[in-house]
Structure 1
Amino acid sequence: MSWWDSDDDEPLFDESDVRVRPSRRGSRPRTKTRPAHKDAETGLVLAVDRGRYTVLLFEGKRNEREVTCTRASELRRTAIVNGDRVDVVGDLSGDEGTLARIVRVKERTTVLRRSADDTDDVERIIVANADQMLIVVAAANPEPRARLVDRYLVAAFDAGIAPLLVVTKTDLADPAPFLATFAELPLTVVTSSTESMPLDEISRLLVGHTTVFVGHSGVGKSTLVNALSPDANRATGHVNVVTGRGRHTSSSAVSYRVSHDGETGWIIDTPGVRSFGLGHVDTDNILGAFPDLDAVAESCPRGCTHLPDAPDCALNEAADAGTLSDAAIGRLDSLQRLLTTFTA
């Protein structure tokens, strides 16, 4: 069919008859302006599970409640972790089946991170806003690893978090040789046996703080959490008698309230790990986690690497002269191993 009538040269169709399909995007202009959400309530992230966040609202008040949240679309590239303070809108009733929405993450006071290994620049945020780190090791079964503890200490120093140390299963082995490695550090140490845990002593250290629990799999970390917070119900595991390794029983970080003499605090139990990468740590902060050696290193020349072959290194000279204690020499070896990893 022709568009034109062959007899009078008039068009068969008029443009006004043509139907214009409306735009799917609509006529409303796009904007980057986000709602202010002035009615948002601030809460504490207690747990994260596959895109759902358990948030505590109205902490310490009569209407305190937990709500399940998703994140706002504008936060899809923002990590939301256990310990974060967040602003929440939507259904805040906490009733089963309801879902609120996280629209803001408050500024963090501290951030504890780790990487897959020391050469990996990709960091993973473990918890936010913790002011203490409780390092849990076992006197035996599995054997304590001083170098792993050193890594925890470096991560704590880098994050500005105060470290504590709890040694469990002291009825299985004498912890004194292991603890001698850290005797010259300003580190609070508590020992515990399988039959008797000093819960009052540990609780006093925890109330008034947010404390992240870290430790190798199988050291009794979840058992300690359950004793301190009976409602936790964290799964506990055993140590393989062949490999000497513990089984992972905690798959995600979860917060629990701990109380003592009318005061409360928060403990954050994290999954047990066998390694703790420090790829995110500034190498200048590594030596700061070894305060006993840091004081000696003040006499090192500027730019000293503190490695075994470093010229005029005060640390190496002190080790050669025998002025370092046996514990300090062991920690110097640990320090140099860490520094070698970063310079490799």
Structure 2
Amino acid sequence: MSRRARDYDESDVRIRPNRRGSRPRTKTRPAHADATPGRVVAVDRGRFTLLVQGRTVTAMKARELGRKGVVVGDAVAVVGDVSGGPDALARIVRIEPRRSVLRRTADDVDPVERVIVANADQLAIVTALADPEPRVGMIDRCLVAAYDAGLVPLLVLTKSDLGDPQEFLAAYADLPDIRVVVTGRTDLDDGAGDGSGLHGLSDLEEHLRGLVTVFVGHSGVGKSTLVNALVPGADRATGHVNDVTGRGRHTSTSAIALRLPDDDGWIVDTPGVRSFGLAHVDPGEIITHFADLEPGTRGCPRGCSHDEPECGLDDFVASGGAGPAGAVRLASLRRLLRARAGESRD
């Protein structure tokens, strides 16, 4: 009998195995209760440098984190190889809640927020008194971002050997909670310096002690020079200012967290910026940072921007309600509001 004529049975049937297995799919993700805590100190093209139990560890983001961004300063939980060896690679499986977030946007109409640093305490706004000339608009924008993030602003003026800081500081004397440090070049042989070639560095160190401080500023203002003086061995690249444009060359290409000597705080050096967008900041919140002016808003018309002819703050300040520095304080507030509206030049 031919094969075609006979009846087929089960031995003639070939069943393809189920390649996906028999285990049902689940959305439950592992809790990773035994994950090791770490701190993100650098980010570079999808790879993260962490400090884990005193060791430097390279890690990547686990798939279950999805599109969640990991930034410098984040406290994270990691699994895998945390030995810190040259070929070791761990996985970031969890980002712990952030206590502060410093953000910026590309411009004042860009809806996309960019998180710069997480879990910082203060924002050091570095600007030169000359070469390049200080840009008030940039400083005002950084101040708005600091207040919005709940960070204490620290104004660091460099190159005081090239310009007098007093006139410049008058514009910021009455801003809320702002602290100022002035630094400049000094002769290493005259005994006035501390070996770094800078005066004022010890004052700056006092303001950084025990805190996480983010350094921001235009390229060429001396930010990397300060970082190298504060953290010996940091080797942050330094640049020069273009004689034609008056702008510096970008030398820091990525943010990095550096531990201060004696484990007495951290500084986060960020790339030099040319703009600091504030599209993420609600203009109505800025007045809340001026406790002496806020009572005067009771006399403002509905929807007042606090920077218009009918604003009640003008009469409030004129009557002395904000104290002797009221006019200066009001000018400062309106400068910040205009920065948020994109009317200040950076």
Shared fold, TM over 0.5: yes
Specify the SS of the correspondent of 1:158: helix
The residue aligned with 2:138 is 148
SS in 1 for 2:145: helix
Residue in 1 that maps onto 2:312:
314
Please tell me whether the aligned partners of residues 318 and 324 of structure 1 are also in contact (alpha carbons under 8 angstroms).
no
Q: Within the alignment, does 1:187 sit opposite 2:178 as a pair?
A: yes
Question: Structure 1 residue 232 and structure 2 residue 222: aligned?
Answer: no
* 1:112/1:155 contact within 8 Å kept: yes
Could you tell me how far 1:74 is from its partner in structure 2?
0.6
* Residue 222 of structure 1 pairs with residue 212 of structure 2: no
Q: How many corresponding residue pairs?
A: 327
2:94 corresponds to which residue? 104
Pick one of 156, 173, 187 that aligns with 1:166.
156
Q: Any conservation in 2 of the 1:308–1:336 contact (CA below 8 Å)?
A: no
Alignment of structure 1 residues 182-331 onto 2, 5 Å = 182-185=172-175, 186-195=177-186, 196-259=198-261, 264-289=264-289, 293-294=293-294, 296-297=296-297, 299-309=299-309, 311=310, 313-317=311-315, 327-328=328-329, 330-331=331-332
Maintained 8 Å contact 1:307/1:340: no
Q: How far did residue 160 of structure 1 move?
A: 0.8
Deviation at 1:136, TM superposition (A): 0.5
Query: C-alpha displacement at 1:287, in angstroms?
Result: 2.6
In 1, Cα distance between equivalents of 2:116 and 2:145: 11
TM-aligned CA deviation for residue 142 of structure 1 = 1.1
CA RMSD of aligned residues (A): 2.6
Q: Which runs of 4+ in 1 moved over 3 A?
A: 13-16, 288-299, 315-330, 338-342
Q: Distance in 2 between matches of 1:157 and 1:135?
A: 13
Deviation at 1:217, TM superposition (A): 1.3
SS in 1 for 2:259: strand
Aligned match for 1:24, one of 6, 19, 28? 19
3-state SS of paired residue (1:122):
coil
Name which of 21, 29, 37 aligns with 1:34: 29
Measure, in 2, the Cα distance between the counterparts of 1:167 and 1:49.
30
Partners of 2:27 and 2:95 in 1: CA distance: 18
Alpha carbons of structure 1 residues 202 and 42: separation in structure 2 relative to 1, 3 Å: same
Which segments of 5 or more consecutive residues in structure 2 lack a partner in the other structure? 187-197
AA partner of residue 119 (structure 1): V
Aligned partners of 2:73 and 2:300: how far apart in 1? 40
Matched ranges for 1:69-108 at <5 A? 69-108=59-98
Deviation at 1:263, TM superposition (A): 5.6
Q: Tell me, in whole angstroms, the C-alpha distance in 2 between the residues paired with 1:46 and 1:339.
A: 30
- In structure 2, C-alpha distance between the alignment counterparts of 1:288 and 1:166, rounded to whole Å: 24
Paired with 1:305 and 1:162, the residues of 2 have a C-alpha distance of 25
1:65-118 per-position Cα deviation (integer Å, ceiling 9, x unaligned): 111011111113111000000111111110111111111111110011101111
Q: Deviations over 1:321-344 (max 9, x none)?
A: 9987774465355234235449xx
Between the aligned partners of 2:293 and 2:249, the Cα distance in structure 1 is 35
Q: What amino acid is the match of 2:245?
A: T
Output the CA distance in 2 between the equivalents of 1:89 and 1:340. 45
Q: TM-score, normalised by structure 2?
A: 0.86
Contact 2:141 2:340 in 1 (8 A): no
CA contact (8 A) 1:181 1:328 kept: no
Secondary structure of the 2:265 match is strand
- 1:209 is matched by which residue type in structure 2? L
Partner of 2:190: none
Q: Is the 8 A contact 2:103 2:114 kept in 1?
A: yes
Residue of 36, 39, 42 corresponding to 1:44:
39
Q: Normalising by structure 1, report the TM-score.
A: 0.87
| 1:150 partner SS | helix
- Greater Cα shift, 23-32 or 331-340: 331-340
State the Cα distance separating 1:16 from its structure 2 match: 4.5
Preserved contact between residue 57 and residue 90 of structure 2 (Cα < 8 Å): yes
Structure 2 CA distance for aligned equivalents of residues 141 and 119 of structure 1: 30
Given that 1:308 and 1:316 are in contact with CA atoms closer than 8 Å, whether structure 2 keeps it comes out as no
Taking the aligned partners of 2:181 and 2:226, their CA distance within structure 1 comes to 12
Does the 8 Å CA contact 1:44/1:55 hold for their aligned counterparts? yes
